[in-house]
């Protein structure tokens, strides 16, 4: 019963739609119908302002950290902790508070992974920032940073192989969510002037 409750709490934490709330308060807009239609920090950065985009990223990152801390404190089992992270990411992507239309999950996943592997994620983040400054290409930079983090930084800090596998599975979920969202995002982009 306790495990189920922590899973539910993880999902509900993930479901808190920070991007939607901030966009509504600051600009009185529905973030789902502007920009790329994504309920996430990157969309807020573009359609509200960079400051609020960073703020939303921090809030979503914090959701991942809080999920990890709660699951670690109450469950202790590594597999159950991972499942809590998965439920939180599912909550972010399919939030009950927004009729199950949420964000892609990069920020909340980053917060959860940072809590489990702080050194690896910190180095991966620094690598991403350097690559982005050099290339100005978000997707290329994040892809290279993730690959190097998993296959260089994880072994460097002696993380077990099963943790690499779980992290890959975790990130695959984000990729699946992006594929699911792609038709909707193309439709929203075509309907408004943001990001053009």
- pLDDT tens-digit readout, 122-154: 999 999 999 999 998 988 998 999 999 999 999
Phi-psi bin for 60: left (phi > 0), alpha (psi -120 to 50), beta?
alpha
**Domain extents in the chain:** 2-104+182-191
Instruction: Give the pLDDT confidence of 5-45 residue by residue, as tens digits.
Output: 999 999 999 999 999 999 999 999 999 988 888 999 999 99
pLDDT average, residue stretch 63-87: 96
In a 3-state reduction of DSSP, which class is residue 173?
helix
Which candidate, 140, 139, 141, 161, places its Cα nearest to that of 151?
Answer: 161
Instruction: Give the pLDDT confidence of 148-179 residue by residue, as tens digits.
Output: 999 999 998 888 999 999 999 988 988 898 88
pLDDT average, residue stretch 81-101: 95
Q: How confident is the model at residue 193 (pLDDT cuts 50, 70, 90)?
A: low
* pTM exceeds 0.85: yes
23-62 burial by CB neighbour count: b if 16+ within 10 A, else e?
beeeeeeebbebbbbbbbbbbbbbbbeeebbebbbebbbb
Q: How confident is the model at residue 195 (pLDDT cuts 50, 70, 90)?
A: low
127-152 burial by CB neighbour count: b if 16+ within 10 A, else e?
bbeebbeeeeeeeebbebbbebbbee
pLDDT average, residue stretch 174-196: 76
């Amino acid at each position: 019963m306790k495990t189920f409750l922590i899973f539910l709490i993880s999902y509900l934490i993930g479901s808190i739609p920070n991007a939607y709330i901030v966009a509504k308060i600051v600009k009185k807009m529905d973030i789902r119908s502007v920009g790329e239609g994504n309920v996430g920090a990157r969309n807020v950065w573009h359609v509200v302002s960079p400051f609020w985009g960073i703020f939303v990223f921090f809030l979503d990152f914090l959701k991942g950290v809080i999920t990890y801390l709660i699951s670690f404190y109450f469950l202790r089992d590594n597999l159950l902790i991972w499942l809590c992270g998965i439920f939180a990411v599912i909550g972010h992507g399919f939030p009950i508070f927004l009729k199950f239309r949420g964000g892609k999950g990069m920020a909340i996943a980053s917060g959860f992974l940072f809590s489990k592997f702080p050194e690896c994620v910190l180095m991966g983040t620094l690598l991403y920032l350097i690559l982005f400054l050099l290339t100005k290409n978000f997707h290329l930079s994040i892809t290279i940073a993730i690959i190097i983090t998993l296959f260089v930084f994880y072994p460097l800090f002696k993380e077990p192989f099963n943790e690499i596998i779980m992290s890959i599975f975790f990130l695959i979920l984000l990729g699946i969510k992006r594929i699911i969202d792609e038709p909707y995002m193309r439709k929203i982009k075509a309907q408004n002037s943001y990001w053009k």
